[in-house]
Structure 1
Amino acid sequence: MTVQFAPPRTSDPAVFGRVAVLMGGTSAEREVSLDSGSAVLEALRARGVDAFAVDGIPALIEQIRAGGVDRVFNILHGNKGGGEDGVLQGLLEALGVPYTGSDVLGSALSMDKIRTKQVWLASGLPTPRYVRLAPGSDVHAAARELGLPVFIKPSSEGSSVGVSRVLDDADLDGAVELAARYPGEMLMEQLVVGDELSVPVLASRDGHVALPSTRIVPKGEWYDYHAKYIADDTQYLCPGYEGADEDEIRQLALAAFIAAGCRGWGRVDILRDRASGQFHLLEINTAPGMTSHSLMPKAARQVGIEFEELCWRVLESSLPESTVGDVQP
């Protein structure tokens, strides 16, 4: 399938003004964010953008008060001090500072895995069965309801932080203890055995476009934090599929992105059941990683968009009227 992108809206870096590349912060994903932010900063400067690094939201507020910020390239990851839960977006909206990525609604919703699932299910989109684990919930009863094996995870963390793969009833309590270290609710999710895939979505002048999927083949049994950011033996097959399967997964990713109210750029994570062939939506990342291991740059490269241009196009999405509707892939 051919991916068609309209030309960039501008070739003049001066239109962006002074750009704060917001990275780091205090979330559990700080180190990944710093790596991503450094790469983005270098790419924007290479294209002539007047960009500078800012570590965390308090430092950003100081820069804005000093009058030194015209727009923000948000590469903070996570919640509660990160930049993906809607708090930063609300702040920037109130201050009138343009920024990359989803707005308050899309950011807050996508950061909450439980609420995202509820929206998808209401929209008729497939996602693995799950149980919300309220404080004091009987985790063993929940496991019997879903059937082992399951994943237990914090509802509002990314990058596989706090996630456990539970195969035996005896391991449930330890998994809950790990997930409970992180703020917010927890959920138990049906373990779908099959391929794990990721589909980036990127704004273009003509609307949002789903990039080629990436099928992830970790050396271990599942795609955990180590496989994502540390290991060099994880395989990334892009595109993940060919023909009708690739069309289907990209259409599903775009539908999920739009249903959650997202905009600008993001990455939709999907599982494919090996037995049935059915796709299941997992989550949306509204500020995807941009490290050497990250999936969005890999997919963009497949359609001729190198890293510097990718960063430019993401930054362009913060300009007025940069997206005008949504298009199918």
Structure 2
Amino acid sequence: MSEIKMEKLGKVGVLFGGRSAEREVSLMSGAGVLAALQSQGVDAHAFDPAERSLADLETEKFDRVFIALHGRYGEDGSLQGVLEQLNIPYTGSGVMASSIAMDKIFTKKIWQNHQLSTPNYAVLTPDTDLSLVPAELGLPLIIKPPHEGSTIGITKVNAAAEMDAAYVLAAQFDDEVLAEEFIQGRELTVAVLGMGADAYALPIIEIVAPEGNYDYQNKYFTDDTKYLCPAPLDAGLTEDIRKMCVEAYRAINCEGWARLDVLLRASDNQPFLIEINTSPGMTGHSLVPMAARAAGMSYENVCMEILKTARLKIKPDTKKESS
């Protein structure tokens, strides 16, 4: 990544908290990022968009921001659009890539168009005959809201009689609901840094959760989940999965950083892309810092490298400016 002198970084806002269902996790992520940047001498300041107007970023003359918000209003392109309007460089993906990655249904369509492996799925609405879905996708299957993360609103449906309750839960968060083929196998995650031809994958992490249940509690608040990094996979399979994840990242036009979740089917070792997170967690239990450590990067190092990539993605209208 390009070298930027400390003084060039200027006044930095660390955006965390926010109004999404993932606020609690974002508060933990942002506190870690803020401390890391300050420890490296960065003039970094906490900024919670749930408590302050984004216009304050301009009036208080912030030079760039590190986005440590998760979920809606931070990871979905809406914040990125405001920052483009305010002319304040920001970390992570741009407006379009953030918006697409936030929508699991749209993301799957793009991956399928690029011939990238992802589980079969169906889109559920109030008009859908839920009794027909198990025959289409098989049982068990997964039902989840397509715009939430951190396993919020997700249900593993083991019997057709559970469909209605699972749909009602997910529909609390989204008008459309995603039903997805269940992949029995190992759970992996892959962090990708950079952009375009320079994007690269960090070491793969395998997640071994209690009873295979990597839920909100086991993600963030217990030490019972085991993380194997680098994942114990043969070299060829490791390379294939990392290559697939970089291709999936590029297909969405992501940049800066992201984390992709992958399931490795037990029956044949075929990997399936599940989702991509364009503003991943940076808590003490989070996976990007873990993968970075395996690649020889400290938490502080990876925060600095991400901050250095902050930029505006929309080019100015030069014709208008010159007229």
Q: TM-score, normalised by structure 2?
A: 0.93
Q: Over residues 177-197 of structure 1, what are the superposed CA-to-partner deviations in whole Å (9 max), with x where a residue is unaligned?
A: 110111342110011000110
Q: 1:137 offset after TM fit, Å?
A: 1.1
Q: In structure 2, what is the Cα distance between the partners aligned to 1:57 and 1:66?
A: 17
> Which residue, 242, 246, 249 being the options, matches 1:257?
249
Q: 1:169 offset after TM fit, Å?
A: 1.3
> Which residue, 148, 151, 166 being the options, matches 1:157?
148
Equivalent in the alignment of 2:277: 285
Matched, 1:221 2:212: yes
- The one-letter code sitting in structure 1 at the alignment partner of 2:21 is A
Task: Could you list the structure 1 runs, at least 4 aligned residues long, displaced by more than 2 angstroms after superposition.
Answer: none
With over 3 angstroms needed to count, the CA separation of the structure-2 counterparts of 1:313 and 1:44, relative to structure 1, is same
Q: Which runs of 5+ in 2 are unaligned?
A: 314-323
Q: Over residues 203-228 of structure 1, what are the superposed CA-to-partner deviations in whole Å (9 max), with x where a residue is unaligned?
A: 28982110011000001233111211
- The one-letter code sitting in structure 1 at the alignment partner of 2:123 is R
Q: Over residues 304-329 of structure 1, what are the superposed CA-to-partner deviations in whole Å (9 max), with x where a residue is unaligned?
A: 100001000000111589xxxxxxxx
Q: In structure 2, what is the Cα distance between the partners aligned to 1:278 and 1:67?
A: 50
**Farther off after superposition, 284-293 or 51-60:** 51-60
> Which residue, 152, 167, 179 being the options, matches 2:158?
167
Q: Which runs of 5+ in 1 are unaligned?
A: 1-5, 322-329
> Which residue, 11, 22, 32 being the options, matches 1:18?
11
Equivalent in the alignment of 2:126: 135
Equivalent in the alignment of 2:286: 294
- The one-letter code sitting in structure 2 at the alignment partner of 1:221 is G
- The one-letter code sitting in structure 1 at the alignment partner of 2:6 is P
**Farther off after superposition, 111-120 or 56-65:** 56-65
| Structure 1 residues 80-99: aligned runs within 5 Å | 82-99=73-90
- The one-letter code sitting in structure 2 at the alignment partner of 1:147 is G
- The one-letter code sitting in structure 2 at the alignment partner of 1:87 is S
Matched, 1:145 2:136: yes
- The one-letter code sitting in structure 2 at the alignment partner of 1:203 is G
Q: In structure 1, what is the Cα distance between the partners aligned to 2:187 and 2:294?
A: 19
With over 3 angstroms needed to count, the CA separation of the structure-2 counterparts of 1:316 and 1:206, relative to structure 1, is farther
Q: In structure 1, what is the Cα distance between the partners aligned to 2:167 and 2:115?
A: 30
Equivalent in the alignment of 1:313: 305
Cα-Cα RMSD: 1.7
Q: In structure 2, what is the Cα distance between the partners aligned to 1:200 and 1:40?
A: 17
Alpha carbons 1:196, 1:270 under 8 Å: kept: yes
Q: 1:64 offset after TM fit, Å?
A: 2.1
Q: In structure 2, what is the Cα distance between the partners aligned to 1:196 and 1:22?
A: 30
Q: 1:174 offset after TM fit, Å?
A: 1.0
Q: 1:160 offset after TM fit, Å?
A: 0.7
